[in-house]
Amino acid sequence: MNDAAAEPLIANDRVFPSDARDRYDDDEEEIEEDVVDESALVSPGLFIWCLTICAGISGLLFGYDTGVISSTLISINTDLSSRPLTTLDKSLITSCTSFFALLASPLTGILADTYGRKTVILFADILFVLGALWQAWTSSVGGMITGRSIVGAAVGSASFVVPLYISELAPSPFRGRMVVVSSLFITGGQVVAYIVGWLFSDRLHGWRWMVGLGALPAALQFVMLFFLPETPRYLIKAGQRQQAKTVLGRVYRSDEGGRKLVTAVLKRVEREIEEEVDAAGLRGTMGVAKSGWRARVEKVKDNAAQLIVVGGNRRALIIACMLQGFQQLCGFNSLMYFSATIFRLVGFQSPTLTSLSIAITNFLFTLVAFHYIDRIGRRRILLWSVPIMIMGLALCAIAFAFVDLPAEEASATPIVAGNKIWPLVILLAMVTYVAGYAIGMGNVPWQQSELFPLSVRSLGSAVATATNWGSNTLIGITFLPMMNIFTPVGTFALYAGVCVFAWITIWRIYPETAGLSLEDVGGLLKAGYGVDDSVRSFKQRRRDSGR
């Protein structure tokens, strides 16, 4: 053992035993390499599927709670504060959810590093149940806003921690698809919300059922979580090596090849932690691990500084925030929240049913992403699908120019012969746009965790998630005023412009990360964006694996 190895390792406020790097079992001794070659794996395995599905329930709640609001608002009538909802009430009830999601994501990012990823999912479940019941019971507008805010905090926490949890557990050849499963749950949750909204909208106080039903999956997930493990990467960081090894043993096969992979991943993660400790100059200088809130604040400050100052981390942050920002600024959620309003404006007889087509298209095309994301790669799937979004938006803008919109939404008339074609073109254009969105932009940004090295993974993902919710809030607030000021033609043309800008940025700076181990992605961004190298090595990996 060399001198450096005798000193304690301090990372994430925990002291690693000084012999951490030497405590390999006999079988581990033989494996000198920490090269993680997972290309021989043919399927993710039952264990990973179960974990992904259990964790994905949070996605279902995210989708359900964001999707249910449009029908809830229509059916509340005078049930709250004994008066009809004003426009201000409606805006506050809608936007407090994304605003609290925005506040919660960085905070839970810190919690996930301190108490673990699983604990944050548990915490989010408690908030989901509390928020759902609060909304169902309340009799005032203020109470509704409080309930929606609690749900918002839950959505914000879950939306960042679930992709993080899944990507730290899944073997790299399937990581992309497993993270897309959580997007499938989100879009599926939105479809369920639209259907529940449609079923309950005519019932007396039906909205209380709509919002209250969200408590059920959360309670179910809470119970299931007791059977789920913490992620091996978090466990290693927290000094619980043996538990990490047990979890990895269940992720990989139990044969010789599987055991080698477990050891290689363990060594790789440990090496990454050591390098980070070295790089941060912490080895030996702090002597003992500090505890208490002061140490935590220092640690968070240190992590935040590392996120900005270290080149690779900064590039990861730029890519993750750029993708999350574009995911929202391309305007998709204005359709999610207001498509019924738009369809009513252009004269559809059953606007809620028509807007269900948006949610269903979103869900179905996320399935396409699930199938292709690891084969085609994140970068290529985006470069191919964003042009579809641009076409849809451009067609939408053109079609709006041919539709006479009523000055008042209430006076919208059902489609009559003669002005039938253009509203249908608008519907077709929106479906095209949503299909393009669901294949790439709707889910690739949630692959964010893989961009960051372990030391800043949680904080980096949390900041990117906050960017998503900040942009989401912006779109929610500005869509209706923009339709008035810029007209629908200008609004949709602007979203098309955002997509053009997104395509160029992705082409310039987003490297291909499909199939790389989490630890290799860090290496890719160390000296630059690594776009050309990553594309070359992705092609090579595909040739080697024959996929």
Ligand X SMILES: O[C@H]1[C@H](O)[C@@H](O)[C@H](O)[C@@H](O)[C@H]1O
Q: Does 362 bind ligand X (CB under 6 A)?
A: yes
- Encoded amino acid at 60, one letter: L
User: Could you tell me where the beta strands, DSSP code E, fall in 180-331?
Assistant: none
Nearest to 222 by CA among 49, 52, 50, 54: 54
Q: Does 336 bind ligand X (CB under 6 A)?
A: yes
Beta-ladder partners of 9: 16
Residue number of the CB atom closest to ligand X: 442
Q: Does 183 bind ligand X (CB under 6 A)?
A: yes
Query: Which of residues 159 and 263 has its CB atom nearest to ligand X in the complex?
Result: 159
Q: Does 94 bind ligand X (CB under 6 A)?
A: no
Minimum CB–partner distance for residue 231 and ligand X (Å): 21
Residues from 51 through 90 that contact ligand X (CB under 6 A)? 66
Contacts of 360 (CB under 8 A, 6+ apart): 191
Q: Where are the alpha helices (DSSP H) in 280-350?
A: 292-309, 311-329, 332-345
Nearest to 400 by CA among 500, 491, 498: 491
Minimum CB–partner distance for residue 539 and ligand X (Å): 28
Minimum CB–partner distance for residue 501 and ligand X (Å): 19
Query: Which of residues 70 and 75 has its CB atom nearest to ligand X in the complex?
Result: 70
Query: Which of residues 60 and 251 has its CB atom nearest to ligand X in the complex?
Result: 60
Query: Which of residues 16 and 160 has its CB atom nearest to ligand X in the complex?
Result: 160
d(CA 197, CA 193): 6
Query: Which of residues 265 and 358 has its CB atom nearest to ligand X in the complex?
Result: 358
Asked if 477 contacts 334 with a C-beta cutoff of 8 angstroms, the reply is no
Q: Does 443 bind ligand X (CB under 6 A)?
A: yes
Nearest to 217 by CA among 120, 125, 294: 125
Q: Does 448 bind ligand X (CB under 6 A)?
A: no
| Site mask for ligand X (CB under 6 A), range 389-428, x = bound | ----------------------------------------
Minimum CB–partner distance for residue 107 and ligand X (Å): 19
Measured CA distances, 430 to 187, 190, 194 (Å): 16, 17, 17
Query: Which of residues 231 and 443 has its CB atom nearest to ligand X in the complex?
Result: 443
Query: Which of residues 38 and 450 has its CB atom nearest to ligand X in the complex?
Result: 450
> What angle is formed at CA 96 by the lines to CA 93 and CA 101, rounded to 5 degrees?
140
Residue with tokens 């259907």: 195
> How many chain residues touch ligand X (CB under 6 A)?
13
Nearest to 451 by CA among 460, 441, 440, 462: 460
Q: Which residues bind ligand X (CB under 6 A)?
A: 66, 183, 186-187, 190, 327, 333, 336, 362, 442-443, 446, 472
